[in-house]
Homo-oligomer: A and B are copies of this chain.
Amino acid sequence: MSLAVAQADASAGVDVATEMAAIGKAARTAARRLAYATTKEKNLALRAMAKAIRRNSPAILAENALDVADAREAGVVESFIDRLTLDPKRVEAMAVGIDEIAALPDPVGTVLAEWDRPNGLHIERVRTPLGVIGIIYESRPNVTADAGALCIKAGNAAILRGGSDSFRSSTAINQCLTEGLVAGGLPEAAIQIVPTRDREAVGEMLTGLSGTIDVIVPRGGRSLVERVQKEARVPVFAHLEGVCHIYVDRAADLAMAKTIAVNAKMRRVGVCGAAETLLVDKAVAGTHLEPIVEALKKAGCAIRGDEATRALVTDVAPATEADWSTEYLDAIISVKVVDGLDAAIEHIDRYGSHHTDAIITDDQSAAGRFFARVDSAIVLHNASTQFADGGEFGMGAEIGIATGKMHARGPVGVEQLTSFKYRVHGTGQIRP
């Protein structure tokens, strides 16, 4: 495998545009075949992918070790190394993930709606694949397996461009995916990884490769998202950061608020559904603020508060304007006292990222107002923001949580990777 990688690297930069155009063309051809692949064909391919990953686990780990060694030498941070590193358990988890995707219902062909017209026409709205999906992600090798498998299940071709630090790992994983495709009688080009570490390749993908890419799914940090927003000429499933809020309303149960706030912030601090800001209704700041903040502190969380918060609780660092729109992804929370529900809604609208926001209250009408006016992909009442997850929603595997409002919003699973068409059944009808 290393040899192939070295060759790909050597040829990189020669003419990335030509190379990427060829990838796009091959993906488009594969997508046409995928579009009418049967459920059986797709699942056969997926199960064969999982098997190939299990069988080739030592080879994948060997390639991954080279990636990790290079990354260490380059001096990247430990959290980066952690995301990059595979072990036998993580490889097995990839295989299990693909088997789970095989077990999901096939979205393609599902009749979403059907009705009859007075002239006898029978109209169906039916799920179809989207076409070719370009996925740009960071150095997390497992995304190669997850994203490739999700695309296949939904009948799409995938062009995958992972972080260059995981290039060898992704290539090794992709060889297993290819093996599965062949076993299922599907075209090899249905999943391609971009065979160059050149950043120019990302630019080419963002132009849509002459109309061969239907949608781009960016998975990454702020710099990737900003680049995508600046350069993309094709539709994008926006995945912005998760600046998620917990609003403790005047009618909140204190014990529930405490438990949820701690869970929403501290269960896992590095996920996009982790809470970053706690808003507390002025009306209950005197009773609720201190116990909640102390519970967070006890759980190991650093607190940055506004003046009102600092007046009520000790050991709180001052929050700056930047804090309100910061996704810490760390054991830090910003805390603010707000003048009631509408002030909370206004704060979330101004500083949030339209990802996931929760209200804690026993007042149904307050919850209703929050639900109607907070313009986020996911709004919760009396539950932790950490439920922002396709699996937790019962939707199966996901590529991420979309924060845009076009096409996909919230967890992006197999159904969100589809489009639809209208099938009209007639018996000779003409339009008068």
- A residues in contact (CB < 8 Å) with B: 32, 35-36, 115, 117, 121, 123, 128, 130-131, 214-215, 232-233, 235-236, 253, 256, 259-260, 263-264, 267, 349, 371-373, 375-384, 386-387, 392-394, 404-407, 409-410, 419-431
A215 — which chain B residues lie within 8 A by C-beta?
A: 406
Q: Are A379 and B115 in contact (CB under 8 A)?
A: no
Closest to A410 in B: B422
Q: In the complex, A43 Cα to B1 Cα: how many Å?
A: 65
Closest to A371 in B: B423
Q: Are B430 and A259 in contact (CB under 8 A)?
A: yes
The 7 closest A-B pairs by CB, nearest first: A383-B426, A263-B430, A405-B419, A407-B407, A386-B431, A382-B426, A380-B424
A235 — which chain B residues lie within 8 A by C-beta?
A: 235-236, 404, 406
Q: Are B267 and A431 in contact (CB under 8 A)?
A: yes
Q: Are A422 and B393 in contact (CB under 8 A)?
A: yes
Q: Smallest Cβ distance from A342 to chain B, in angstroms?
A: 12
Q: In the complex, A142 Cα to B57 Cα: how many Å?
A: 64
Q: Smallest Cβ distance from A215 to chain B, in angstroms?
A: 6
Q: Are A35 and B431 in contact (CB under 8 A)?
A: no
A422 — which chain B residues lie within 8 A by C-beta?
A: 377-379, 393, 409-410
Excluding A35-B373, A383-B427, 14 further A-B contacts by CB distance (< 8 Å) are A32-B349, A35-B372, A121-B383, A121-B387, A130-B406, A131-B375, A267-B431, A378-B422, A379-B422, A379-B424, A380-B423, A381-B423, A387-B429, A409-B419
Q: In the complex, A430 Cα to B382 Cα: how many Å?
A: 9
A260 — which chain B residues lie within 8 A by C-beta?
A: 428, 430
A123 — which chain B residues lie within 8 A by C-beta?
A: 393-394
A378 — which chain B residues lie within 8 A by C-beta?
A: 421-422, 424
Q: Are A423 and B379 in contact (CB under 8 A)?
A: yes
Closest to A267 in B: B431
A259 — which chain B residues lie within 8 A by C-beta?
A: 428, 430
A382 — which chain B residues lie within 8 A by C-beta?
A: 425-429
Closest to A377 in B: B421
Q: Are A407 and B409 in contact (CB under 8 A)?
A: no
A232 — which chain B residues lie within 8 A by C-beta?
A: 233
A405 — which chain B residues lie within 8 A by C-beta?
A: 128, 130-131, 214, 419
Q: Are B379 and A431 in contact (CB under 8 A)?
A: no
Q: Are B383 and A421 in contact (CB under 8 A)?
A: no
A267 — which chain B residues lie within 8 A by C-beta?
A: 430-431
Given contacts A36-B372, A378-B422, A383-B424, contact A263 B394 (CB under 8 A): no
A-B contact pairs, 23 of them (CB 8 A): A36-B373, A117-B394, A121-B387, A130-B405, A232-B233, A235-B404, A259-B430, A267-B430, A371-B423, A377-B421, A378-B421, A378-B424, A379-B421, A379-B423, A381-B423, A382-B427, A383-B429, A383-B430, A384-B431, A386-B430, A387-B431, A409-B419, A409-B422
Q: Are A410 and B406 in contact (CB under 8 A)?
A: no
Q: Smallest Cβ distance from A15 to chain B, in angstroms?
A: 24
A419 — which chain B residues lie within 8 A by C-beta?
A: 405-406, 409
Given contacts A267-B431, A419-B405, contact A394 B115 (CB under 8 A): yes
Q: Smallest Cβ distance from A377 to chain B, in angstroms?
A: 6
Q: Smallest Cβ distance from A372 to chain B, in angstroms?
A: 5
Closest to A427 in B: B382
Q: Smallest Cβ distance from A25 to chain B, in angstroms?
A: 14
Q: Which of B256, B375, B428 contacts A35 (CB 8 A)?
A: B375
Q: Smallest Cβ distance from A74 to chain B, in angstroms?
A: 34
Q: In the complex, A208 Cα to B109 Cα: how many Å?
A: 35
